[in-house]
A = this chain, B = another copy of it.
């Protein structure tokens, strides 16, 4: 099953059910310990809200994670707050019986490239050939199923399966399976499909639940491998941020992400 068939086909993707309510499905196999990956949920929400806005692309989207999302049917309520000339802004709520995600996004057409200015203080990294790196093989427990639904290769220096590096960063490559191309919505999946940066920190920690994730999409991605870099600078006050950069196979910066996650409280 491809990623888009799990989020976007007419059979299984969001279906309008009257004004401002959509039905969709969290498919099995995209979970971490039984609950769907946060990027997967955001991709479903983003696709649905873009349809409600009649725009082809997402520009900036934020989700607050309220409750875990187990596999099964969900509803997505959409409220177009403003339909502007260039951007439309939509509030969304994804729910089962109770809300699991609260979302706010702006949608546009990224094909109309609009500026004469360009500054890039950082370029796409060159790390060698992802085909030479082992694919992360998911299991029922760890690595979790969601990581096996994509083709994920970790940068050798960040491959914590061989022992944590001591630096809270996670770099590597990801592509969808079966040569499925990327779009601006599947980038939302990519923004959260890597293991947490803190798995490379110099302390032992389990999964860190995401409180909020924001993704800025700059450009439509080319097909093939995405190069992704996630890094954390501040583990303070019970929180850790994770900043992401996503580069497509042509070396273009396609998205930036930032999430804030909760650390376990002392026993």
Contacts and interface: CB of A to CB of B under 8 A. Distances in A.
Contact of A219 (B59, B219, B237): B237
Interface stretch (A12-20, A23-31, A79-87): A79-87
A99 B119 contact: no
A10 interface: no
Interface string A225-242: 000000011111111110
Interface string A82-111: 101001010101000011001111100010
Contacts of A168: 119, 121
Given A219-B237, A234-B121, A115 B214 contact: no
Contacts of A7: none
A64 to B, nearest CB: 5
A186 B138 CA distance: 45
A56 to B, nearest CB: 15
A266 interface: yes
Interface string A109-146: 01001111111111000000000000000000000000
Contacts of A233: 119-122
Interface stretch (A37-45, A47-55, A171-179, A255-263): A255-263
B120 A236 contact: yes
Identical chains bound together, number: 2
Interface string A57-85: 00110101011000000000000011010
A80 B164 CA distance: 40
Given A91-B91, A102-B81, A234 B119 contact: yes
Nearest to A265: B114
Contacts of A59: 211, 239, 260
Contacts of A114: 237-238, 263, 265-266
A212 interface: yes
A232 B237 CA distance: 26
A155 interface: no
A183 to B, nearest CB: 15
> 9 tightest CB-CB pairs across the interface, nearest first?
A114-B238, A119-B235, A115-B238, A218-B237, A62-B62, A114-B265, A115-B263, A104-B104, A121-B233
5 contacts: A60-B212, A66-B81, A113-B237, A115-B265, A119-B202
Given A62-B62, A234-B253, 4 more contacts: A66-B82, A115-B239, A115-B265, A218-B237
